Amino acid sequence: MLLLLAGCGQSQGGQSTLHPGSDGTRKIAHLFWGMLAAAAVVFAGAVVLLALSYRRRNREGIPMVENEHAVSNGLVVAFGIVIPVVCLVILFAIADIGVVKATSAPAKGQTKMNMTVIAHQWFWEVRYPGTTAATANEIHIPVKTPVNVTLKTDDVIHSFWVPELNKKVDTIPGHPNTIELYADRVGVYRGQCAEFCGLQHANMAMAVYADPPAKFKAWLANMSRPVATPTTPQAKAGEQVFLTQQCASCHTIRGTAARGTIGPDLTHLQTRNTLAALTIPNRKGYLGGWVLDPQHIKPGNKMPGLNLSGPQFQNLLSFLEGLK
């Protein structure tokens, strides 16, 4: 039953530990299936014993083993000590000596690429050292390339977890951790904060895009550029709304005067497919709803609802839609 039930759990949204996308997670998944098989044998054995005892219920004339301590004690020693010790030693050797190495953080200088992820309540800030590129929640990496990720937090403890690419590591204040991100095929891998971090712990997701190297390069080059000057009058007016209303006090748009650091960098907002850490799609209607009433969509997040006039709102949207 165990096998059957677990077997039907194939990944739908790209966040399944049983759908590995890297060597490390594949080893962990294999480890799981191995342990599950062993566990199934133990469980079946115990059920057999319980079934045997059920057959003996209330039957007269069956031999009692009251005094055969050697037999019953021997069973306890064999099943309670000897067999568990053997199994545990094997498990220890495979899991805690073998697989643990394959999933450890890479040694310094062992990887081709570095990245920094800074966790915030409740989004992921993503930076690529050596460039000015900054984004949020949607992480791009080149496929088949080990990436060394340094994990920090701006506030409380979070946990960086992209189940198909690697195990999770917490972001601890004052104690940066590292983890390797590696994807062996092109695709989108969903991840999510795995350490309880307050009101919007549930809506602190991320997506890792493993791109072909050329595509990644182009993406990174674009992300490193400051924003292009708005061309339409409406977008220009929108920029002014952004800078004069509260937006700029929290958000940075490189190439403008907006230098806020509380919320995500919005320089290339339109390169992202989602908003609010994968809570809603990044489409005009959703973006507008988010700007006007973010507390309805993600209660407790730090963005206040803006009191904008109709034209101000339209201008702002037009500006935001130009952040490519």
Partner 1 sequence: MATVTHPEALRRINRLERIWEERSGVLGWLTTTDHKRIGILYLFTSLLFFAAGGTEALLVRTQLITPNGSTLGPAAFNTTMTMHGVTMIFLFVIPISTGAFGNYLLPLMIGARDMAFPRLNAFSYWVFLGSGLFMYVGVVTGHGPNAGWFDYVPLASRTYNPGSAIDFYALGLIFNSISSTAAAINFIVTIFKLRAPGMSLNRMPLFCYAFLAVSFALVFALPALSIDCVFLELDRRLGFNFFNVGHGGNVLLWQHLFWIFGHPEVYIIILPAFGIATSIIPTFTRRRMVAFPMVALAEILVAFIGFGVWAHHMFAVGLSTITTVYFAAASMIVVIPSAIQLFAWLTTLVTGRPSFKTPLLWIIGFIVFFIIGGLSGIMFAAIPFDQQLTDTYFVVAHFHFIIFGAAVFPLLGGLYYWFPKVTGRMYHEGLGQASFWITFLGSALTFFPMHIVGLLGMPRRVYTYPANVGWHPYNLSETIGSYILAAGLVLLVVNLVWSYFRGVAAGPDPFGGATLEWSIPSPPPDYNFAVIPTISSAYPMWDPEDREHDVHKLNRGEMVLEQGHETPASTVLDGYFDEVLDMPSNSPWPVITALMITGVFAMILTGHLVAMSVFLALVAASLVGWHSVEPQEA
Interacting residues with partner 1 between 47 and 86 (CB under 8 A): 47, 49-50, 52-54, 56-59, 62, 64-66, 68-69, 71-73, 75-77, 79-81, 84-85
CB of 150 to partner 1, least distance (A): 11
Q: Which of residues 227-256 bind partner 1 (CB under 8 A)?
A: none
End-to-end CA distance of the chain: 50
Residue written as token pair 């007269």? 60
**Min dist. Cβ of residue 201 to partner 1 (A):** 6
Closest listed residue to residue 282, CA positions, set 300, 264, 260, 308: 264
Q: Which is nearer to partner 1, 49 or 257 (CB)?
A: 49
Q: What is the CA radius of gyration of the chain?
A: 27
Q: Does the footprint of partner 1 cover residue 186 (CB under 8 A)?
A: no
The one segment of 89-97, 137-145, 224-232, 312-320 that binds partner 1 by CB under 8 A: 89-97
* Residue 304 binds partner 1, judged by CB under 8 A: no
CA distance 196 to 302: 17
* Total interface residues for partner 1 by CB under 8 A: 94
Under rule CB under 8 A, residue 33 binds partner 1? no
Which positions from 202 to 231 touch partner 1 by CB under 8 A, shown as an x/- string?
xx-x--------------------------
Q: How far apart are CA 202 and CA 253, in angstroms?
A: 27
Shortest approach of partner 1 to residue 85 CB, angstroms?
Answer: 7
Residue 16 makes contact with partner 1 by CB under 8 A: yes
What is the Cα–Cα distance from 253 to 319, expressed in whole angstroms?
A: 11
When asked if residue 321 is in the footprint of partner 1 (CB under 8 A), the reply is: no
Q: Where does 18-62 have alpha helices with state H?
A: 23-55
Residue 299 binds to partner 1 (criterion: CB under 8 A): yes
Backbone conformation region of residue 276, classed left if phi is above 0, alpha if psi is from -120 to 50, else beta: left
Residue 293 touches partner 1, criterion: CB under 8 A: no
193: region left, alpha or beta (phi > 0 left; psi from -120 to 50 alpha) = beta
Half-sphere exposure of 53 (CA within 13 A, CB side): 6
Stretch binding partner 1 (CB under 8 A), from 20-28, 140-148, 229-237, 247-255: 20-28
Distance of CA 205 to the CA centre of its chain: 6
- Residue closer to partner 1 by CB (options 84, 129) is 84
96: contact with partner 1 by CB under 8 A: yes
